[in-house]
Structure formats: structure tokens, C-alpha cells
Chain A
Amino acid sequence: GEQVEQRPPHLSVREGDSAVITCTYTDPNSYYFFWYKQEPGASLQLLMKVFSSTEINEGQGFTVLLNKKDKRLSLNLTAAHPGDSAAYFCAVWTNAYKVIFGKGTHLHVLP
């Protein structure tokens, strides 16, 4: 079945620096990809949903890149601020009833 590897598990950056989180997946038939943010004690908040035909997706303060050839999905926070400190999860959707989550990245942005 589909495997999703997320790296790094922990990431500390200084305010203003960029932060990059990467996921690799195995199923070439995967065609929807998600990034979620989870603040402490809160639920998962959808940051972006990416369809497989779109390689670069711009959000507010972040960019999501999809490399289908390498089966890699990345989240790039361009200028991190303390409010970005949270756990981030990638997720890969291959059929209607199964979404596979990465193991998460704990991001800590130092002021």
C-alpha cells in the first residue's frame, strides 16, 4: 500500500528564516495531496490541497511544490514567524476512503 515518509520530524528555525518540510510517497497513482497545520491542543487545519497537475502552489506565506517524477511534496514557509510554530502533516489521497498521513513535523520558530 501507499507509504508516506515525512522529514524532518523536528525543525527549529529563527524568525524570518525559511522552513522546508518534505514528504515522499510511493503510489504513482496518488493525485491529491494535502498539507495540514496543527497548533497545540487544536485540530488539523487545512493549509492547501494540491491536485497532481499543479506543480507550484502559492499560499499566504508559503509555497507547496509537487515533483511527480520524484514523488515528492514539499512545504516551504518563506519567512517563518512564531505563529507558524506547530505540527505540520502531509497527506496523500489515493482513493475515496483512504488518506495516508505523514508522521508529522514539529516546527519551532525562535523569535
Chain B
Amino acid sequence: ETAVFQTPNYHVTQVGNEVSFNCKQTLGHDTMYWYKQDSKKLLKIMFSYNNKQLIVNETVPRRFSPQSSDKAHLNLRIKSVEPEDSAVYLCASSRGQDYTFGSGTRLLVI
């Protein structure tokens, strides 16, 4: 099956903890992304990686860091979560104009 796979689906954690989300794509795409979708469903791009090189970093807080071992994987680490980090984090990959989104990781910070 070719798709974008994200783990975990849900994560509940306390303020100040570190979390890490995984994303893997089996589509052979060259570019991967992390988007944040807040409670109002607003989609904001956080990072974009092309062949392990960071392309876009939309001024997200420094506690967020993308990690990529190869072009099929793009993980997201949050060093010390804050309440405002509660959101759905969507991973996506693309080749040209063809985008595919993962099912998302829903983070709740308590």
C-alpha cells in the first residue's frame, strides 16, 4: 500500500514534556511537509523538506524541530510542549502538484 503514514494517531501529554511524531511516505515523493491544524481547522505549514534539505520554516517556535533520515521519513519533535500546541499535526508528501496527506496526529496538552 502506498500512502503517507503517521504515528501515533493520538497523544496526550503534560505541559513541558517532549513528544515526537513520525511520518513515513511510500509514494516515492521528493518533498515532505508538516502542517498544523488548530481547533478552528486553520491549516498552517510548519516545515517543508526536499531530499533532506529544509526548504520552508514558517517561523514556528524553536521548540519544534523536524528530523529527516531520508526522503521517505520526516519526523517532528516538540521539546517542551505548551498548551497552545494542542492541535492536529498533518504530514504530507508531494511530487510536483500531487499532494498526499497523512491521517494526522492529534495532540492534546494538559
Contact = CB atoms under 8 A, between A and B. Distances in A.
Contact of B31 (A44, A46, A49, A97): A97
A4 B99 CA distance: 18
A25 interface: no
Nearest to B43: A101
A98 B55 CA distance: 9
A110 B92 CA distance: 32
Contacts of A93: 97
Contacts of B98: 49
B31 to A, nearest CB: 6
Report whether over half of chain A's contact residues are helix, strand or loop; otherwise say mixed: strand
B103 A42 contact: yes
A49 B42 CA distance: 20
Contacts of B45: 98-99
Interface in B34-48: 40-43, 45, 48
Interface residues of A, number: 19
A87 interface: yes
Nearest to B48: A97
B96 A96 contact: yes
B48 A98 contact: yes
A43 interface: yes
Interface in B87-110: 90, 96-99, 101-104
A106 B55 contact: no
Nearest to B102: A43
A106 B8 CA distance: 26
A104 B42 contact: yes
A103 B42 contact: yes
A51 B5 CA distance: 28
Contacts of B55: 97
A32 interface: yes
A89 interface: yes
Contacts of A63: none
Interface of B: 31, 40-43, 45, 48, 50, 55-56, 90, 96-99, 101-104
